Amino acid sequence: IFDPQDVAGDEKELRAPICCILGHVDAGKTKLLDCIRGTNVQGREAGGITQQIGATYLPAENIRDRTSLKAETAIKVPGLLVIDTPGHESFSKMRSRGLSMCDIAVVVVDITKGLEKQTVESLHLLRCHNVSFIVALNKVDRLYGWKECTNAPIVEALKKQSDDVKSEYKWRLTKVVTEFKENGFNTAPYYENNKKKKVVNIVPTSAESGEGVPDLLLLLVRWLPDIITDKLAYDDTIECTVLEVNEHKDLGTTVDVVLINGVLRQGDQVIVCTKQGAYKHHKEVRAAQGVKIVARGLQYAMAGTSLIVVKPGDDLRQAEAAAMQEIDMAISTTDENEKGTTTQEVSSIMTCKEGIYVQASSVGTLEAIIAHLKSSSVDIPVYDWNLGPVYKQDVMKASAMLKRKEEYAVILAFDVKVMPEASALAAESGLKIITADTVYRLVNIYTEHIKGLKEAKKMQFAAEAVFPCTLKILPNRIYHSKDPIVCDVEVVEGVVKVGTPICVFTPSKDKSKNTIVHSLGRISSMQTSNGNQIFSARNGVVAIKISGDSPQEKSRSYGRHFDSSNELVSEISRRSIDILKECFRVKTLTMPPRF
């Protein structure tokens, strides 16, 4: 299934390539990862596979066992490290940090569906970050009449299929190749691809029954190292990225790191970036490719940044300064080619005085959430952010909004644990913590929460809300001139409601004042011209009854204090304006002319 002549005889010591899996939701990323791990096959020995953290390490020998590779054919890399990218949309949005540590990506495409929205998004990201990829054209077993050949190389499996299956496979493959072409990529099935460096390889796979998976693994450990030999050259300089900050039941806070190059040794002194400052430790660190580190103060470590190892004789301060520089880089590293987010935008969200608090598991996911919050369809400001589990300190910080702007008194927590004492404090203070497994759901829950808050406020203030209206008294249609005043009016502007306090403006004899305001009382009932009781009217002629509350209001009378040349208007206080603005704002709200 693989041409050994493709492999050049270079003897450099190489490290394991790092690979991530991207694609549209439901294309089969998770299932394919299970298949690569061998966890889909019952009774299979794990064969040295270690699934340590957010990554799976497959030793070369395990891959050899699972493929038809002859014993004498060398695999030059010690193994393959596959990053367990979360299956949800957020990873497809993850930018520089997540992708930059990968040497190659596997883009999973469902053969029955072709390229979908998130596939195209993934391609865009890969192009932006100059990351090579292989296409896993998945779910070939769904082709009608497919004969299962468990874990077989794909060419072998294809040979065993009927002509109908073969022809369906061919036209679906051609369709996908065309779709890639439309997106600017030349692709070809890898077994026919003579220009592997220039033309993207397609590997037909079934994550269900394993056909094509050996081919995919071989491409990753045999072909890839020849293409990127220099990049994979083993180097003593430690390159290490913090993948996740976790709370462990027995160990306390731990950080999961991807060791890209070098060796980490137990007892190494390490520095991690934190929002609070750089911390150094003399605790235990075990060497491996994906490593869990246990140390004091790690709860402040930031995912997506480097872990720096300090060797004897190194200048500690310099190392700390280098670590801290990364924080700014991590937050401001955005891709200018990528639409929607620029460094400027990210920085402005960070410094907002009024906004919500965002907590995420890594810089990549944080960036994805912030980009979504900033998008025009959502447009929610961010007050502050943090990475890793939600602690009491986060709740305390986010609670600043309870006094400033209640609707922003929220922590959006994505893919992180909320510590029990943080939940308790939030419940006590009235701060809302929202968790969800996709960015979109997280934001949807937040917008629903805001709607709920607004409705509750509306109910609470409905009685106090006075809607602006201007009414023209119809001459000769005064039925009762003094408390209660009963007359026909025409609604000139706004909306008139039962309960609205009414006043009238009359010219003042005192030249220093323009008008005098006479409060008349509230509208106690309202009728249409055919005698129907109504509660509100926006236009036309209605009969209103105004009942005075205070003795002064009761003393006002038509003919003496006002007449049909004066307009009646709703009497609006500052407070009712505030309530209207806050709870009942509509675009066409017009205020009475005199206000």
Q: Residues interacting with ligand GDP, by CB under 6 A? A: 23, 25-31, 87, 138-139, 141-142, 206-208
Instruction: For the CB of residue 209, give the shortest distance to ligand GDP in the complex, in Å.
Output: 7
- 161 or 254, CB closer to ligand GDP? 161
- 164 or 354, CB closer to ligand GDP? 164
For the chain, give percent helix, strand, coil, nearest 5.
35, 30, 40
- 208 or 415, CB closer to ligand GDP? 208
- 31 or 93, CB closer to ligand GDP? 31
Element (H, E) at 96: helix 96-100
Instruction: For the CB of residue 185, give the shortest distance to ligand GDP in the complex, in Å.
Output: 20
Peptide bond into 484 cis (omega under 30): yes
Among residues 492, 495, 547, the alpha carbon closest in space to that of 520 is found at 547
Among residues 588, 593, 541, the alpha carbon closest in space to that of 572 is found at 593
Instruction: For the CB of residue 438, give the shortest distance to ligand GDP in the complex, in Å.
Output: 11
Task: Report CA Rg, the chain.
Answer: 34
> Residue with CB nearest ligand GDP?
28
List helix spans (H) across 183-278: 213-218, 224-227, 229-232
Check: CB of residue 281 under 8 Å from CB of residue 296.
yes
- 208 or 320, CB closer to ligand GDP? 208
> In angstroms, rounded to a whole number, what is the distance separating the alpha carbons of residues 296 and 318?
21
**Helix, strand, or coil here: 498?**
coil
Check: CB of residue 133 under 8 Å from CB of residue 126.
yes
DSSP state of 418: B
Instruction: For the CB of residue 68, give the shortest distance to ligand GDP in the complex, in Å.
Output: 20
Enter the tokens of residue 1.
């299934």
- The number of helices, as runs of H, and strands, as runs of E, in the chain is 19, 26
Element (H, E) at 461: helix 439-461
Instruction: For the CB of residue 193, give the shortest distance to ligand GDP in the complex, in Å.
Output: 22
- 189 or 521, CB closer to ligand GDP? 189
Instruction: For the CB of residue 204, give the shortest distance to ligand GDP in the complex, in Å.
Output: 10
> In angstroms, rounded to a whole number, what is the distance separating the alpha carbons of residues 447 and 440?
11
Instruction: For the CB of residue 437, give the shortest distance to ligand GDP in the complex, in Å.
Output: 12
Instruction: For the CB of residue 7, give the shortest distance to ligand GDP in the complex, in Å.
Output: 29
Q: DSSP letter string over 186-210? A: -EEEGGG-S-TTTSEEEEE--TTT-
Instruction: For the CB of residue 140, give the shortest distance to ligand GDP in the complex, in Å.
Output: 7
Instruction: For the CB of residue 389, give the shortest distance to ligand GDP in the complex, in Å.
Output: 25
- 156 or 345, CB closer to ligand GDP? 156
- Measured CA to CA in angstroms, residue 119 lies from 25, 85, 136, 338, 501 at distances of 9, 15, 12, 16, 60
Geometric angle at alpha carbon 150, from 148 and 156, rounded to 5°: 75
- 84 or 384, CB closer to ligand GDP? 84
Among residues 7, 8, 17, 47, the alpha carbon closest in space to that of 217 is found at 17
- 106 or 410, CB closer to ligand GDP? 106
Strands (E), 321-443: 356-360, 382-387, 410-414, 432-436
- 79 or 204, CB closer to ligand GDP? 204
- 207 or 272, CB closer to ligand GDP? 207
Instruction: For the CB of residue 203, give the shortest distance to ligand GDP in the complex, in Å.
Output: 12
